[in-house]
Amino acid sequence: MTLTELQERIRAMFGAKDSRRGVEGTFMWFMEEVGELSAALRSNDRQELPLEFADVLAWLATLANIAGVNLEEAMQAKYGLGCPYCHQTPCLCAASTKP
- Model confidence at 95, pLDDT cuts 50, 70, 90, reads confident
- Model confidence at 87, pLDDT cuts 50, 70, 90, reads very high
Q: How many residues does the chain have?
A: 99
**Rounded average pLDDT over 70-83:** 97
Domains recognised in the chain with CATH numbers: 3-68 (1.10.287.1080)
Percent over 90 (pLDDT), the chain: 93
- Model confidence at 98, pLDDT cuts 50, 70, 90, reads confident
Please state, in angstroms and as integers, the Cα–Cα distance from residue 86 to each residue in 50, 83, 89, following that order: 32, 6, 9
Query: Residue 21: which residues within 8 A CB-CB, separation 6 or more?
Result: 29
pLDDT of residue 97: 78
Please state, in angstroms and as integers, the Cα–Cα distance from residue 22 to each residue in 34, 39, 49, 72, following that order: 18, 26, 27, 22
pTM, two decimal places = 0.90
| Average pLDDT over the chain, rounded to an integer | 95
CA separation for the pair 52, 24 (Å, rounded): 21
